Amino acid sequence: AQSVTQLGSHVSVSEGALVLLRCNYSSSVPPYLFWYVQYPNQGLQLLLKYTSAATLVKGINGFEAEFKKSETSFHLTKPSAHMSDAAEYFCAVRIYNTDKLIFGTGTRLQVFP
């Protein structure tokens, strides 16, 4: 079965600091992986996705993620945090041969001035 695990339910950074949100996956087949952001009381917005092309994926709002097969990881990073980045971030994997997504438990990012 495929799954994703997000380490750290809460991450706090100062404005301007590096953002690192961790996601590890479990999959016996090449996974399709996604990062979504959710602002309070809103739906999800796609930040970026990995679909077996380039291992370093650039997304919106300055975020990027690197697919590392050896580490079964797909961590999300941003060089310099902005106050507007404060939100809930979800990692997700697409179930093989379907269009269904399984989401991680989410990481709440707080950005302090």
Partner 1 sequence: GAVVSQHPSWVICKSGTSVKIECRSLDFQATTMFWYRQFPKQSLMLMATSNEGSKATYEQGVEKDKFLINHASLTLSTLTVTSAHPEDSSFYICSARTISSYNEQFFGPGTRLTVL
Looking at beta carbons only, is 74 or 90 nearer to partner 1? 90
CA-based nearest residue to 36, from 27, 25, 45, 28: 45
Among 20, 46, 56, 83, the residue binding partner 1 under the rule CB under 8 A is 46
Residue 36, interface with partner 1 (CB under 8 A)? yes
Strands annotated E in 1-113: 3-7, 10-14, 19-26, 33-38, 44-50, 56-58, 64-68, 73-78, 87-94, 101-103, 107-112
Among 75, 78, 104, 109, the residue binding partner 1 under the rule CB under 8 A is 104
Q: Count the site residues for partner 1 by CB under 8 A.
A: 20
Q: Closest approach of Cβ 95 to partner 1, in Å?
A: 9
